[in-house]
């Protein structure tokens, strides 16, 4: 079984289970606190989703500023 198939099976099993201990174990395994908020895309405010989609479009069009340039701008602005 490929890793992709194993991931799909694991997702399927987690979605079907009502076993609290199994879910708690999976969260612990990946270092996620049980009380960590989980926000779905649909719960994300519309203006945030719009901004994210615009950023993805800009990235797809190559309208990016390299990390080094961003750091240089901040260092200049804050004189570090």
Specify the number of domains making up the chain: 2
- Same domain membership, residue 3 and residue 26: yes
| % residues pLDDT > 70 (the chain) | 98
- Same domain membership, residue 29 and residue 19: yes
- Same domain membership, residue 52 and residue 33: no
Domain region containing 61: 39-80
pLDDT tens profile 21-43: 888 888 889 888 877 776 778 78
CA dihedral sign, ordered 56, 58, 63, 64: negative
- Same domain membership, residue 28 and residue 3: yes
27 and 34 in contact (C-beta within 8 Å)? Answer: yes
- Same domain membership, residue 64 and residue 30: no
pLDDT tens profile 47-64: 999 999 999 999 999 999
Question: Quick one: pLDDT at residue 69?
Answer: 94
């Amino acid at each position: 079984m490929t890793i992709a198939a194993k991931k799909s099976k694991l997702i399927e099993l987690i979605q079907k289970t009502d076993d609290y201990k199994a879910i708690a174990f999976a969260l612990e395994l990946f270092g996620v606190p049980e009380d960590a908020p989980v926000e779905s895309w649909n719960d994300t405010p519309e203006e945030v989703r719009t901004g994210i989609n615009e950023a993805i479009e800009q990235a797809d069009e190559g309208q990016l500023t390299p990390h080094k340039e961003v750091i240089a701008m901040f260092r200049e602005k804050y004189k570090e």
